Amino acid sequence: MRPSGRAVDQAREVKIIRHFTSHAEGSVLVCFGNTQVICTASVEKGVPRWLQGKGQGWITAEYGMLPRSTHTRNRREATSGKQGGRTLEIQRLIGRSLRAAIDLKKLGEFTITLDCDVIQADGGTRTASITGACVALVDALRSLQLNKSIKTDPFKQFVASVSVGMYKGEAVLDLDYPEDSNCETDMNVVMTQEGKFIEVQGTAEGVAFSRDEMDAMLELAEKGCRELLVIQQQALQAL
Amino acid sequence: MRPSGRAVDQAREVKIIRHFTSHAEGSVLVCFGNTQVICTASVEKGVPRWLQGKGQGWITAEYGMLPRSTHTRNRREATSGKQGGRTLEIQRLIGRSLRAAIDLKKLGEFTITLDCDVIQADGGTRTASITGACVALVDALRSLQLNKSIKTDPFKQFVASVSVGMYKGEAVLDLDYPEDSNCETDMNVVMTQEGKFIEVQGTAEGVAFSRDEMDAMLELAEKGCRELLVIQQQALQAL
Amino acid sequence: MRPSGRAVDQAREVKIIRHFTSHAEGSVLVCFGNTQVICTASVEKGVPRWLQGKGQGWITAEYGMLPRSTHTRNRREATSGKQGGRTLEIQRLIGRSLRAAIDLKKLGEFTITLDCDVIQADGGTRTASITGACVALVDALRSLQLNKSIKTDPFKQFVASVSVGMYKGEAVLDLDYPEDSNCETDMNVVMTQEGKFIEVQGTAEGVAFSRDEMDAMLELAEKGCRELLVIQQQALQAL
Amino acid sequence: MRPSGRAVDQAREVKIIRHFTSHAEGSVLVCFGNTQVICTASVEKGVPRWLQGKGQGWITAEYGMLPRSTHTRNRREATSGKQGGRTLEIQRLIGRSLRAAIDLKKLGEFTITLDCDVIQADGGTRTASITGACVALVDALRSLQLNKSIKTDPFKQFVASVSVGMYKGEAVLDLDYPEDSNCETDMNVVMTQEGKFIEVQGTAEGVAFSRDEMDAMLELAEKGCRELLVIQQQALQAL
Amino acid sequence: MRPSGRAVDQAREVKIIRHFTSHAEGSVLVCFGNTQVICTASVEKGVPRWLQGKGQGWITAEYGMLPRSTHTRNRREATSGKQGGRTLEIQRLIGRSLRAAIDLKKLGEFTITLDCDVIQADGGTRTASITGACVALVDALRSLQLNKSIKTDPFKQFVASVSVGMYKGEAVLDLDYPEDSNCETDMNVVMTQEGKFIEVQGTAEGVAFSRDEMDAMLELAEKGCRELLVIQQQALQAL
Amino acid sequence: MRPSGRAVDQAREVKIIRHFTSHAEGSVLVCFGNTQVICTASVEKGVPRWLQGKGQGWITAEYGMLPRSTHTRNRREATSGKQGGRTLEIQRLIGRSLRAAIDLKKLGEFTITLDCDVIQADGGTRTASITGACVALVDALRSLQLNKSIKTDPFKQFVASVSVGMYKGEAVLDLDYPEDSNCETDMNVVMTQEGKFIEVQGTAEGVAFSRDEMDAMLELAEKGCRELLVIQQQALQAL
C-alpha cells in the first residue's frame, strides 16, 4: 500500500554518523532513508541578554535547507532576506525539543546552537533534525566536560522524533515525501526515554481526523521513537 | 485551584459581536474573558499566482497584536521590519484551520483574508482568533451570496478552537494568562462540528506529558469546542 | 452641500471612551464620527540612548491602521517589512504635537509611547489620533503621580487637532472620507488651549489656495479645536 | 540679530546652474547660500502600474543627502536598509509640489523622476530642492518637446519654495542652519506664480505660534518666493 | 616552511565526488584538503526578465557557508536578513567564471543555477567552488542533452581555479586557512584549458607585492590549475 | 582606434579639486575625464567594536552613485533597501586600498570614513574614487595633526588606481564607458609610490586573456598610476 513497499509500522533505515565535520563541538549526519541532515552543536560562552545573570545556559536551534535539497530548487533564504514561516516554525520546534533534554541550570552560562541543515530532503526533515541534533548535543556536552568547562553533566534524557500520519485511510509510521504530500493527516511527535511527550503536532490536510485515528497514530509514534532512542544510544557508544 | 476560581472544565465567558467595524464583509469582536480580538474577513477578486486558472478560491490569515494589548508593551512588528516566528506560526495555523471550513472549489476565484488583531491579550489569543474568524468568514460568504458573486454556499462546517493544559498537575480548560505562563503543558485544539480534529498542538513547557494526561486534555478540549460551536451558531442567528 | 449634510462649520460627533483596554497606563477609544482610533499611552523606565543622562523624559508615537479599517483592504505593514511614508509622517506629527503638551524635564527619565491604531477609518485619522492621545497621555501621567514615580505634574497644556479644507470652493470643518478624497485643499491644524498653533499643514490637492482661503480655513480650525479641547477636559472629569 | 547679519526679510544669495551634469534631461545645481543641491529630472517612458491606461503622466521625487553633507557624518541610508521618516516626508513634499507645476494629462504616459541630492547642507535643503527641481523639470520638458515626444507644453506654472520662521521673537526669511536649529517655529511654504499656496507647513519647535506670528511669516514667505520665481525664470532664459 | 609541510608548489589532495545528492541535475562534493563544498547545478526553464526573447540561456551562482563550517560559528545569513559583501563578491565571481565555460546561445532559454555551499572550510572555498561547480555544470548539460532539451553541446571549455599567495616571503600554491590568515598577498586565479585567464584577483594583505612576486605567483597558479583540469576530466570519465 | 581618439597609453585628463564641500575634514572632487566623484574623508572618535582596546585606528569606505549619474537612471539603493553586490565589492576595494596608505597604529583610536559618491559616470568610477580618496585622506590627517589629535603622521605612502583593458585586441589605458562596455578584458590596478601593487583585479568579459596580454596591461597600469601619483602630490602642494 505504501509507495516504498514498507509495512505501515515500518520506519525507514536510520543512519547517524558522528564527527561528520571537524570544527563543531558536535557534528552529526543523520539519515532517515533519503532524508539527510547535517546537525552541528556549537558551544559559545555567554547567554542571550535576557538570561544574563540568571546562572543558567541556553539551547537554541536554526534550520535551513540547501536550495537544491528538494525536487525543484527553492529560493535561498539568505537572498530573499528572511527566513520563511515554515523555517521559523521548525527551528522553534527543534529548540524547544532539545531544551527538554537538558538541565539548563547545570549547563551554566553557555549557549549551545544546534544548526540543522538539510542537504537532501525526502520527508521528515524536522524529525530527523531533532533526532540527530540530540546526538550532536551529547557530543558537545562531552567536550565541555572534557575541557572542564562544566563539572556535572547537564544531560537529562534523550529525545527522539518521528512523523506519523493517516495515508489512504491507514495510520503509517515515518512518512516519506510521496506519502507526506498525499496524506490526510500529518503528525510529528517528540518523545523522551520515559515514553512521555514533548510535542505532539497533528495537522489535518483536507480530511479531519477522529479520536480513534489519533490514538492509532500515537501508538505508531511511540514505537518509532523507541527504535530511534536505541539507535541514538548505539551511535554514542563509540568514542 | 485555578487563579480565576474557575472549575477545571470551565471555559471563560465568550462574547461574539458581529458587524463590529463597518468596511469588512465580515467583522467580529470575539472575547474569551479578557482576551479581545477583532476578526475581519475581507473578500478580494482573484487568487494568488500559484492558484490562478485552477478554478478555486483561497483563504489566508494574518495575525497581529496591538503593541499595548499585553502587560508590557511589545515592539510593533511594522517597525521591527518583520513578523516574528510566533506571529507567522499563529497565522499559518489560523489559515489552515479555516480552509477546513470551506470548499475552496465552490468559492471560485476569490481570496478571503482573515485579519485577526488582538486588542487585549489574556491568554488564548490564537484559539479566540480561530473561533471568531469562523463567524466573520460566514458573514463574508453571506455577502458574496447576497450580491450573487457565488451561487452555491462553499461553507462545509464550523470550526472552533480552545486551549487546554496541564496546570499544577491537573488538566484544565481554556487557560488564561496566569495559567498559560505557569502551566506544564499547553495544547491548542481545533475541532469541527463532527467532533473531528483539524489541529492538535501540544507542547510541554518543562515537564513532559504522559499519554493519560494527553487523553484527559483532549476530553476537555472536546467539551470546550462543543460549547464554542453552539455560541458561534447562536451569534449567526441574528441578521 | 456637504455629503453628510453637515453645516460648513460643523464637526462630526466626537466620543472619547477612557479605560478602553486594560493593560496600558492610558487607553482611549476616540471617535470622530465613523473614524475610530485606539490610543494607548505606555510608560517605560528609561529614555532613548541619545537622551540618557540629560535628566529629561521622552514622548514618542507610533501609528497604524488595521488592514481592513479602510474601504478596501490595505496591506499589513508588518508583512511588507516597513512602515510606509504616510505612516511615518503621521507618527512623527503625533509625537511632535504631544511633546508640546508636556514639560519633558519634569517627566524625568521616563518614555511614554503613544500608540494610535485605527480600527475604522473615515477621514481625519491623524487629527483624531492627536486628540485622543492627549487624553491617554493625561491618564498615564496620573498613574505616574499615583504611584509616586514623579512628584510634579509635567502636563503643560491640552492639544487638540482637527482638519479643515476647501471643498467645492468653500472652507469646511472636519472632513470625512468623501470630502477628503475630493477636496481642493486639506489642512491639519494642531492647537493649544491658549489658541496658539503647534502645527499647520496645508496641502493643495490640485488647486492652489489663496491667502483668503487660508484665513477662512484657519478660522474654522480654531473653532473646531476649541470644541475638542472642551470635550477632552469633560472626558477627564470622571475618574 | 541674525547670526549671518542678514536683515529679517533678506534671503541668502541664490545660484541656479543648469546643465550641471551631462546625462539627465534636466540637471541643476541650486545654491541657497551654503546649501547646495543637485536636482536632476529623468524622463522615462511609461507610468506606474496604478496609472496605466489612464492617458496621463507622472511626476515623482526622491531626496537624499550625501553622508558628509552635514556637520557630522550621517549614516548612509543605503547601508541602513531604508530611507528615514524625514527623507520620505521631504520627497513626498517635493513630488506633490512639482505635480502642481504640470498638467499631467498633457505629459502623456511619461514618468519624470526628480532626484534631489544634497551635497552641502546649511538649512533649507527641502526648499532649495523644490526651487531647483522646478528648473530641472522645465529643461526635461523642453527635451521632450525637442525630440517630439510630446506636442503641447504640459507646464502650467512655476513653483518656488522658501522657509520662514520665528527666531528670537521675530519673523525671519530663509533660515540657515544656525537659525533653523534654534528657532521657535519653522515654516516651509511652496508658492505659485499667481501668489497662491501649494503647501504651508508650520511646526512649533518648543513655543507655539500665534495667528499674528503666522501672518507675519506668510508675508515674508510671499516676498521670498516672488524673488525665487524671478531667479528661476532668469536662469531659464539662457539655452 | 608551510604549516602543512607541503612543498611551495604542492596543492592539497583534491577529491571530486559526483552524484553526491540526488535531486539536482548536477551534484558534486569537492574537497581541497579539508575544505569541502557541495556544488549543485539546477536547470530551470526560462531566463531572467532582462534576457527574455534574446534566444540565449543564463548561468548564475549562489554561495553560502553552513554556520559551523568555520572554526567559530558564523551568523547564518538567512537570519541576518542579507548576504554579506564577501558572499556577494564570491558568488559574482563564480557566476562570471562559469559563464566562460559555456556558449550561452547554444544553451537556449534555460537558466542553470550553481549553488556552492561550504560544509567545512579550511581556506580556498571560492576556488574549490569554481572547480567543483564546473563538474556539476557538465553533468547538468549532459542531462539536458539526454532528455533532448538541447541539441548541441553548449560546453566550450573547462575552467578551474586555485589560490596562490606570498607567504613568509615565498610564493606558495593553494593556501590553507593557517596560510591564508597570515599571508602577505592572496591571489585567486581562474584559468581555462588553453592556459588563458578568466580572472586574476590579487590582494595585498599588509605588504604590497612586486611585479616579480606577481610573476612567481602566476606561474604557480598555472601549474595548479593544470592539475585541477586533469582531475575534473578524470572525474567525468565515469558515468 | 579608441572612440575618444586617445593613444592606447593615454589616460584622460585628471582634475583634483580640494575643499570641494565645506564640512568634511577632507573633501575632493576628482575627475577622470567625464567621470566625476566627490570623495570626502570624515574623522570620528572611536573604532568599531571588534577593534576596541587594540590601540589602533580604522579606515573604511562607502561608495554610491547618484541615480542619474549614469546614461539611464538607476534605482536609488536607499529605496531598494540594500546596497547591491557591485557597490559592496567596490567599497570593500576602496577601503582595503586606502588602509595600505596608512599606519593604523599611528592613527590611534580614530575611524576615518571615505565616502565616494559618483555624480557623473563615464567609466573608471572605482579607480577615480581610490585616487581621489587618497587626497581627501591626506587632508583629513592634516586636520588631525593641526588640532593635535595625533602626534606622528600615520601616512605611509600614496596609492593611486587606474583601469586597463584589452580593447579590440590591444591593451589600452584608462577605459571610458564606451570602451568599458565593449572590451574583452577589464583590469583595475592599485599601485603605491614604490611601484608595488595593492590590488590587481583582471576579469575577462567574454574572451580569456593570455599571459602576454596580462603583461602588456600591467605595463600600462604602471605608467598610468605613476602619472596619477604625480597629480595627487601636486594637488596637495597648495594649502
- Distances, alpha carbon D235 to alpha carbons A95, B14, B85, D15, D19, in Å: 67, 72, 57, 9, 11
pLDDT bin (cut points 50, 70, 90) of residue B224 is very high
| Per-residue confidence (pLDDT) for residue F194, from 0 to 100 | 93
Q: How far is CA B79 from the centre of its chain?
A: 25
Closest CB from E23, E71, E121 relative to A70:
E23
Q: How far is D213 from chain C (nearest CA, A)?
A: 10
Assembly ipTM: 0.95
Rounded Cα–Cα distance for residues D180 and A61 (Å) = 51
Are the CB atoms for F228 and F32 separated by under 8 Å? no
Tens digits of residue pLDDT in B85-94:
999 999 999 9
Are the CB atoms for D62 and F76 separated by under 8 Å? yes
Environment class of B182 (CB within 10 Å of its CB; exposed 0-12, middle 13-18, buried 19+): middle
Rounded Cα–Cα distance for residues B133 and B113 (Å) = 10
pLDDT bin (cut points 50, 70, 90) of residue F115 is very high
Dihedral, D92, D98, D99, D103 alpha carbons, nearest 10: -170
Rounded Cα–Cα distance for residues C110 and C149 (Å) = 9
Bridge pairing between strands B185-192 and B159-167: antiparallel
Amino acid, single-letter form, for residue C233: Q
Are the CB atoms for F132 and F99 separated by under 8 Å? no
pLDDT bin (cut points 50, 70, 90) of residue A98 is very high
State mean pLDDT over C196-201. Answer: 98
Amino acid, single-letter form, for residue E239: L
Residue A91 forms contact with E (CB below 8 Å) = no
Taking CA atoms, what residue in A is nearest to B159? Answer: A208
Beta bridge partners of F18: F28
Is F92 assigned a ligand-binding role in the annotation?
Answer: no
Q: Other C-beta atoms within 10 Å of B131: how many?
A: 29
State mean pLDDT over F45-54. Answer: 94
Higher pLDDT, A206 or E203: E203
Taking CA atoms, what residue in E is nearest to A82? Answer: E81
| Per-residue confidence (pLDDT) for residue F10, from 0 to 100 | 98
Residue C129 forms contact with B (CB below 8 Å) = no
Phi and psi at residue E177, to the nearest 5°: -60, -45
* Average pLDDT value for chain E: 96
Residue E111 forms contact with A (CB below 8 Å) = no
CB contact under 8 A, D79 and F76: no
Residue C194 forms contact with D (CB below 8 Å) = yes
CB contact under 8 A, F78 and D73: no
Q: Among A48, A59, A119, A67, which Cα is nearest to A91's?
A: A59
* Average pLDDT value for chain D: 96
Is F127 assigned a ligand-binding role in the annotation?
Answer: no
Q: Among D166, D106, D102, which Cα is nearest to D134's?
A: D102
Tens digits of residue pLDDT in A51-82:
999 999 999 999 999 999 999 999 999 999 89
- Distances, alpha carbon F224 to alpha carbons F28, F173, F188, F214, in Å: 20, 7, 11, 15
Taking CA atoms, what residue in C is nearest to D214? Answer: C197
Closest CB from C38, C120, C121 relative to B66:
C38
- HSE (side-chain half, CA atoms, 13 Å) at D6: 17
CB contact under 8 A, B23 and C120: yes
Tens digits of residue pLDDT in D163-221:
999 999 999 999 999 999 999 999 999 999 999 999 999 999 879 999 999 999 999 99
Tens digits of residue pLDDT in B107-147:
999 999 999 999 999 999 999 999 999 999 999 999 999 99
CB contact under 8 A, A197 and B214: yes
pLDDT bin (cut points 50, 70, 90) of residue A205 is confident
Q: Among A172, A104, A174, which Cα is nearest to A141's?
A: A104
The C-alpha cell 501508538 sits at: A219
Tens digits of residue pLDDT in F143-177:
999 999 999 999 999 999 999 999 999 999 999 99
Kindly list the residues from chain E whose CB atom is less than 8 angstroms away from the CB atom of residue F203: 96, 198-199
CB contact under 8 A, F201 and E196: no
Residue F63 forms contact with E (CB below 8 Å) = no
Subunits adjacent to chain C (3 or more Cβ pairs under 8 Å)? B, D
Residue E49 forms contact with F (CB below 8 Å) = no
Residue B89 forms contact with C (CB below 8 Å) = no
Residue F44 forms contact with D (CB below 8 Å) = yes
CB contact under 8 A, F79 and D62: yes
Q: How far is B209 from chain A (nearest CA, A)?
A: 5
Residue C88 forms contact with D (CB below 8 Å) = yes
Query: Which of F86, F197, F218, F220 to mutate against chain E (most E CBs within 10 Å)?
Result: F197
Q: Among C89, C234, C65, C97, which Cα is nearest to C161's?
A: C97
Are the CB atoms for B60 and B146 separated by under 8 Å? no
Tens digits of residue pLDDT in E25-72:
999 999 999 999 999 999 999 999 999 999 999 999 999 999 999 999
How many beta-carbon contacts under 8 Å exist across A and E? 98
Are the CB atoms for A202 and A184 separated by under 8 Å? no
Handedness of CA E187, E192, E195, E197 (dihedral sign): negative
Closest CB from F40, F69, F115 relative to D21:
F69
Rounded Cα–Cα distance for residues E73 and A60 (Å) = 13
The percentage of chain E sitting over the pLDDT mark of 90, rounded to a whole number, equals 96
